C-alpha cells in the first residue's frame, strides 16, 4: 500500500513577506528571462533555493547549492519561513481560468513513502531525461528538503478525502498567493486528528500516479539509496524515506491536461506528404481567406476528440494540415494500452517508422511552435490533442511509459507554498 503521512511543513510567514512575490513556478518551466524577474521580485523568493544562479566565481565550497542551503537556514532563523510545530496535511487549491471557463484544482500535500517503481503502489507514466535529475539531486544533498511537490493523482469514487477538503476550504486559508496569470493559490492546514485519520484510511489502498514531477521522484529514490549507502537508514522511517507530494482525485472536476507540440527536423530525402498519405488522410487548411491564427484554430477544431488525428504545419508550404489515420487496425509496434495514446503513436509510428525523425523539440504554444519552425532548421510542427487522464492511469498500471512530455497538467503548482525538510 502507498503510505502517506502528515508532516511538519515549512511555510512562508505572511506577516513578513508577500507570498505572491516569494513563490515561483516549478524550475522546469522557468525561462532564463523569467528567472531574472523572479530574482528581482523579492530577495526571499524561493527561486534562490530551488533554482539558483551560477556564478563565475563558484567553487566546491561556494556555489548555487551551498547558497540555497544558506538561504533556507537564514530564512528559518529570521522568521521569514516558519516550521509548523505539529504534523499536518495541507489542502491546496488553485482557482484559474482556461478557455473562458473558471475552474478549481484541489488536492492535499502529504509526505509519501518512497517506493521502487514496479513493486508498490506508486506508478510513473512518462520517460525522463538524466540531466535534470542530477541538478535536483544536488538540491537534496545540500538542503535536505523538498521545496517543490510532485503532482500526483489517485482515483476514489467514494471521495472521502475530497469531502474533507471541501469542508476545509470554507475556512480562511493560511496562505494565499496570486501568480502572474491571475490565478489564486490557497493553502489550508489539516491538523485535526479526525480529518487526518479519514485521509490516511482512504489513501491506504490507493494507487498513486505521478502526473508531473517524474524527475523529482526518481531523484528522491536516488537520494534515499545514497542515505542507505551511508548507513543512515536504520528503520526505513527516516524523513528522507518520504517525498513531498500533492495528491488530487482524478474523479473530481477541475483538472486540466494540455498537449505539448513537437517541432521536428526531417531528412530532405523524405517526402513528408507523400509518406504520410499512405497511412493518413491529409487535408490542407485553406489559408487564402483565413489568418494564420484562424487556420490553426480550424485545424484544432478538426482533430479535436478524434483518435490518432494530428495537426501539422509544413514550413516549405507555409500551410496547416490535418492528419486522420486511414486504418485504426494498422500494425503499430506498441503494447495495447499505448496504441490508443496519440503521442505514443506519433513517436513510435510517425516519427520512428515513417519519417525517421532524428531531432525534435517541444513547445506548448502553437504560435510559438510555428515561429520557431520558420526561424530554425525545422521541416514541420506536429500538433496533438491532450492525453486523457484515465489513459494515463491505464498505461501506468500496465507498467509502461509514454514518451517525455506526453502530459502537461495545468495550472502548475507553485514552488514554496510548503517545504518538507528532512
How would you classify the pairing of strands 380-383 and 309-314? antiparallel
Rounded to two decimals, what is the model's pTM? 0.91
**Residue carrying C-alpha cell 483538472:** 255
pLDDT of residue 1: 66
pLDDT of residue 274: 95
Give Cα 186 to chain centroid, integer Å: 19
Residue 357 CB-half CA count within 13 A: 22
pLDDT of residue 130: 58
pLDDT in tens, 219-251: 999 999 999 999 998 999 999 999 999 999 999
pLDDT of residue 332: 80
Taking alpha carbons only, the member of 200, 16, 17 closest to residue 110 is 200
pLDDT of residue 393: 87
Taking alpha carbons only, the member of 147, 132, 134, 122 closest to residue 226 is 134
Query: By the 8 A CB rule, do 355 and 347 touch?
Result: no
* Residues pairing with 94 in the sheet: 105, 185
pLDDT of residue 397: 87
Delineate the domains of the chain, giving CATH numbers in brackets: 4-256+409-421 (no CATH), 260-385 (3.30.1760)
Residue 180 CB-half CA count within 13 A: 9
- The continuous run of DSSP H or E covering 292 comes out as helix 292-303
387: phi then psi, degrees, rounded to nearest 5: -70, 145
Taking alpha carbons only, the member of 274, 283, 281 closest to residue 355 is 274
How would you classify the pairing of strands 408-410 and 359-363? unpaired
* Alpha-carbon span 220 to 11, nearest angstrom: 21
In the chain, which stretches have pLDDT less than 50? Answer: none
pLDDT of residue 140: 96
* Alpha-carbon span 10 to 148, nearest angstrom: 12
* Residues pairing with 362 in the sheet: 262
Read off the DSSP letter of residue 83. E
pLDDT of residue 337: 87
Amino acid at each position: 500500500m502507498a503510505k502517506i503521512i502528515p508532516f511538519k511543513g515549512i511555510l512562508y510567514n505572511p506577516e513578513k513577506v508577500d507570498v505572491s512575490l516569494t513563490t515561483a513556478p516549478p524550475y522546469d518551466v522557468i525561462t532564463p528571462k523569467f528567472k531574472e524577474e523572479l530574482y528581482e521580485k523579492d530577495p526571499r523568493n524561493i527561486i534562490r533555493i530551488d533554482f539558483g544562479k551560477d556564478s563565475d566565481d563558484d567553487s566546491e565550497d561556494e556555489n548555487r547549492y551551498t547558497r540555497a542551503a544558506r538561504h533556507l537556514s537564514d530564512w528559518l532563523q529570521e522568521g521569514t519561513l516558519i516550521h509548523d510545530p505539529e504534523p499536518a496535511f495541507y489542502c491546496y487549491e488553485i482557482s484559474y481560468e482556461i478557455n473562458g471557463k473558471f475552474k478549481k484544482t484541489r488536492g492535499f500535500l502529504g509526505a509519501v513513502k518512497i517506493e521502487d517503481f514496479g513493486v508498490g503502489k506508486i506508478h510513473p507514466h512518462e520517460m525522463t531525461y538524466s540531466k535534470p535529475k542530477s541538478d535536483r539531486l544536488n538540491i537534496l544533498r545540500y538542503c535536505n528538503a523538498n521545496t517543490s511537490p510532485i503532482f500526483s493523482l489517485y482515483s476514489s469514487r467514494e471521495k472521502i478525502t475530497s469531502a474533507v477538503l471541501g469542508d476545509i476550504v470554507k475556512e480562511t486559508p493560511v496562505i494565499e498567493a496570486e501568480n502572474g496569470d491571475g490565478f489564486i493559490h490557497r493553502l489550508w492546514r489539516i491538523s485535526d486528528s479526525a480529518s487526518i485519520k479519514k485521509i490516511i484510511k482512504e489513501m491506504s489502498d490507493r494507487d498513486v500516479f505521478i502526473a508531473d514531477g517524474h524527475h523529482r521522484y526518481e531523484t528522491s529514490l536516488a537520494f534515499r539509496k545514497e542515505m542507505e549507502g551511508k548507513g543512515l537508514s536504520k528503520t526505513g522511517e527516516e524523513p528522507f524515506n518520504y517525498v513531498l507530494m500533492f495528491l488530487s482525485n482524478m474523479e473530481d472536476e477541475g483538472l486540466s491536461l494540455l498537449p505539448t507540440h513537437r517541432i521536428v527536423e526531417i531528412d530532405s530525402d523524405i517526402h513528408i506528404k507523400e509518406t504520410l498519405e499512405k497511412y493518413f488522410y491529409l487535408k490542407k487548411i485553406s489559408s487564402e481567406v483565413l489568418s494564420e491564427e484562424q487556420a490553426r484554430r480550424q485545424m484544432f477544431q478538426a482533430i479535436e476528440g478524434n483518435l490518432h488525428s494530428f495537426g501539422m504545419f509544413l514550413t516549405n508550404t507555409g500551410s496547416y494540415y490535418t492528419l486522420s489515420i486511414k486504418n485504426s487496425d494498422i500494425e503499430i509496434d506498441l503494447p495495447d494500452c499505448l496504441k490508443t495514446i496519440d503521442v505514443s503513436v506519433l513517436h513510435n509510428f510517425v516519427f520512428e517508422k515513417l519519417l525517421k525523425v532524428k531531432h525534435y523539440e517541444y513547445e506548448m504554444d502553437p504560435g510559438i511552435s510555428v515561429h520557431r519552425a520558420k526561424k530554425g532548421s525545422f521541416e514541420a510542427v506536429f500538433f496533438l490533442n491532450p492525453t486523457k487522464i484515465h489513459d494515463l492511469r491505464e498505461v501506468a498500471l500496465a507498467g509502461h511509459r509514454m514518451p517525455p512530455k506526453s502530459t502537461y497538467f495545468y495550472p502548475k503548482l507553485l514552488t514554496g507554498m510548503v517545504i518538507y525538510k528532512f
